[in-house]
């Protein structure tokens, strides 16, 4: 099954189940066990493991469910099993975690390895007259006015296939090579983010804290402390960028998958370990 | 001075200062006393006294400030006193209460009595796939799909000058006659409220819990339990409508004032008690 999720990360210690901590995976697996009347916890595979405090509107997971457990989800009004599952989950999950949709996954679907890309947004309010207390859980309030043009210029220089070691928390056995597909800054007129500064950041995959490091480098540019050329210099020299912006401005907005008949092939391709491209 | 405020009502026991309770007035007056270095609490006059749990993006208050206290608000960068006041308030107020702007009020300005009208929005999500945990503090989640057309039809019948006793919590010495200037239901495409059902409700003034009673009557229509003609029948018969919807879906969006040279006259007019119009 494929589930589409949204959550407010404020009250969670990130995605991954950890003993004694409230995590998205932990709460969702417990809720699924209740609704499916299963004594074993279901095992969830997630598209994007979000850090503590990071939100999601477009998170995707998959899990295996025994056919007879699904068949047991019958509703008086004749709704199908996946509809009943979503309804019952709404009854047992807390308000900060919503399963928006459930469906039988197409053959070959793997929430993590079939994904083509993940798209995050980072939201900043740099205008005191625009601060909205109702949005404070997912918008960074910045005291200083930021230079949109300089930030957009800096962001563009980072797009492409690179070793993002400078913007990743190091892990011994993992590559830090990623394809940054999109990194834009905009100040929307109208719409839900009117007046905010919004970064749209899309990549095939992200390393730990990568988006928040990239955003941190751009804020230094926006404040005028660094030139727009600086973030790319940091990237090239692979020296560790120090500033990681707060988690609460970050939201996983979308996970992009290929058409159904390419899902299995994509999963195989992704499993092959990424390598540093020849210079 | 005139202050423009926004707040998340979740953590407040409404507007009015009450002993032992956290209220918007209490927190704001305390913050102002700190910033103005005054041992006396300032006295705030508010445009719309919001109930416990109700939010505001466009709340307005006025207060008297001694000239020398304002003059003491000097900034190294030469910013004027009102700008410094907003900055310092941002430093002492909690995240759920924001003073967005401060200015010297024009002559005759009274935040309460000069106002021409108050505009509230009530937000409902009736589509489970649209539930956004990041907006759950200010959107009512409704399990049943609602009929927008029927609700809009019902709302239109209530617009005008009426005795809203059926939709007000009774108070012995207060009139319940109000002019409902606008009562629309819409389901926005695009924008911050995409996919939600939003009521825009504007009146010269509101009685206690009036918006939430009006919305409650429309939800009964939207669910098909009542005909669109029913809310107007309740109004005409002055029988008490029983359903008051939860506070958290309600936000004071705007207070409308006349041009500066009409402020004083408007305040005088409003102070004259409203009376029931001849039938």
Instruction: Report chain A's mean pLDDT, rounded to a whole number.
Output: 92
The yes-or-no verdict on residue A128 having pLDDT over 60 is yes
Region A251-264: mean pLDDT is: 93
Q: Summarize pLDDT for B140-197 with one digit per residue, the tens.
A: 999 999 999 999 999 999 999 999 999 998 777 788 999 999 999 999 988 788 889 9
pLDDT of residue A196: 95
Of B55, B133, B194, the CB nearest to A134: B55
Contacts of B175 (CB under 8 A, 6+ apart): B163, B273, B274, B275, B276
pLDDT of residue A39: 84
pLDDT of residue A275: 45
Q: Summarize pLDDT for B127-136 with one digit per residue, the tens.
A: 988 899 999 9
Region B19-38: mean pLDDT is: 95
The yes-or-no verdict on residue B279 having pLDDT over 70 is no
pLDDT of residue A57: 95
Residue of B121, B134, B189, B194 to mutate when probing chain A, most A C-beta within 10 A: B134
pLDDT of residue B276: 47
Per DSSP, helices labelled H in B199-262 are: 210-222, 230-237
Rounded Cα distance between B237 and B243, Å, is: 16
Q: Summarize pLDDT for A19-41 with one digit per residue, the tens.
A: 999 999 999 999 999 999 888 88
CA A119 to chain B, closest CA, distance in angstroms equals 17
pLDDT of residue B215: 97
The residue among B150 and A279 whose pLDDT is bigger is: B150
- Residue by residue, DSSP assigns A134-185 as GGTTSSEE-SS---HHHHHHHHHTT-EEEE-GGGS---TT---EEEEEEEEE
Quickly count: other Cβ atoms within 10 Å of residue B260's Cβ: 13
The yes-or-no verdict on residue A276 having pLDDT over 60 is no
The yes-or-no verdict on residue A139 having pLDDT over 80 is yes
| Residues of chain B above pLDDT 90, percent | 75
The yes-or-no verdict on residue A107 having pLDDT over 70 is yes
User: Does an H or E element contain B92, and which?
Assistant: helix B81-92
CA B145 to chain A, closest CA, distance in angstroms equals 13
Grade residue B84 by pLDDT with cuts at 50, 70 and 90. Answer: very high
Q: In this structure, are strands A197-203 and A177-186 parallel, antiparallel, or unpaired? A: antiparallel
Region B86-109: mean pLDDT is: 94
Region A110-125: mean pLDDT is: 96
pLDDT of residue B275: 46
Quickly count: other Cβ atoms within 10 Å of residue A133's Cβ: 25
Region A153-158: mean pLDDT is: 97
Residue B51 annotated among the catalytic residues of the structure: yes
Instruction: Report chain B's mean pLDDT, rounded to a whole number.
Output: 92
Tell me what ipTM this predicted complex has: 0.89
Name every residue in B having a CB less than 8 A away from some CB of A: 6-8, 55, 57, 86-87, 90, 95-98, 100-101, 128-138, 190-192, 194, 251
**Matching residue, tokens 């310092």:** B88
- Residue by residue, DSSP assigns B122-169 as EEEE--GGG--GGGTTSSEE-SS---HHHHHHHHHTT-EEEE-GGGS-
Rounded Cα distance between B276 and B176, Å, is: 8
The yes-or-no verdict on residue A279 having pLDDT over 50 is no
Contact A138, A50 (CB under 8 A): no
The yes-or-no verdict on residue A213 having pLDDT over 60 is yes
Residue A19, judged by CB atoms within 10 A of its CB (0-12, 13-18, 19+), counts as exposed
Of A97, A128, A131, the CB nearest to B133: A97
The yes-or-no verdict on residue A169 having pLDDT over 70 is yes
Contact: B134, A57; criterion CB under 8 Å: yes
Grade residue B273 by pLDDT with cuts at 50, 70 and 90. Answer: low
Phi, psi of B93 (to 5 degrees): -85, 150
Grade residue B238 by pLDDT with cuts at 50, 70 and 90. Answer: confident
Grade residue B78 by pLDDT with cuts at 50, 70 and 90. Answer: confident
Q: Summarize pLDDT for B242-272 with one digit per residue, the tens.
A: 799 999 999 999 999 999 888 888 888 888 7
Question: Catalytic: which of B4, B30, B40, B51?
Answer: B51
Q: In this structure, are strands A45-46 and A55-62 parallel, antiparallel, or unpaired? A: antiparallel
CA B160 to chain A, closest CA, distance in angstroms equals 31
**What length does chain B have?**
279
Rounded Cα distance between A9 and A29, Å, is: 16
Name every residue in A having a CB less than 8 A away from some CB of B: 6-8, 55, 57, 86-87, 90, 95-98, 100-101, 128-138, 190-192, 194, 251
The yes-or-no verdict on residue A273 having pLDDT over 70 is no
Rounded Cα distance between B143 and A121, Å, is: 29
**Statement: the pTM of the whole predicted model exceeds 0.80:** yes
Contact A151, A167 (CB under 8 A): no
Region B28-35: mean pLDDT is: 96
Region A64-74: mean pLDDT is: 85
The yes-or-no verdict on residue A278 having pLDDT over 50 is no
């Amino acid at each position: 099954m494929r589930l589409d999720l949204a959550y407010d990360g404020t009250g969670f210690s990130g995605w991954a189940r950890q003993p004694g901590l409230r995590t998205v995976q932990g709460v969702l697996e417990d809720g699924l066990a209740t609704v499916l009347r299963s004594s074993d916890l279901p095992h969830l595979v997630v598209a994007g493991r979000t850090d503590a405090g990071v939100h999601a509107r477009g998170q995707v997971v998959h899990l295996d469910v025994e056919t007879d457990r699904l068949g047991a989800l019958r509703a008086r009004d004749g709704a199908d099993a996946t509809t009943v599952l979503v309804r019952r989950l709404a009854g047992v999950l807390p308000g900060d975690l919503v399963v928006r949709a459930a469906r039988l996954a197409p053959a070959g679907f793997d929430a993590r390895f079939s994904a083509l890309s993940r798209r995050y947004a980072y939201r900043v309010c740099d205008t005191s007259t625009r601060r909205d207390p109702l949005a404070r859980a997912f918008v960074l309030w910045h005291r200083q006015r930021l230079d949109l043009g300089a930030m957009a210029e800096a962001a563009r220089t980072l797009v492409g296939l690179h070793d993002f070691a400078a913007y990743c928390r190091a892990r011994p056995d993992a590559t830090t090579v990623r394809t940054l597909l999109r990194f834009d800054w905009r100040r929307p007129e109208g719409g839900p983010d009117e007046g905010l500064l919004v970064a749209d950041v899309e990549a095939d995959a992200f390393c730990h804290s990568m988006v928040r490091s990239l955003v941190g480098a751009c804020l230094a540019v926006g404040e005028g402390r660094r030139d727009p050329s600086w973030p790319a210099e940091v990237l090239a020299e692979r020296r560790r960028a120090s500033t990681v912006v707060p988690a609460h401005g970050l939201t996983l907005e979308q996970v992009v998958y290929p058409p159904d008949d390419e899902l299995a092939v994509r999963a195989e391709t992704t499993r092959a370990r990424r390598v540093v491209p020849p210079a």
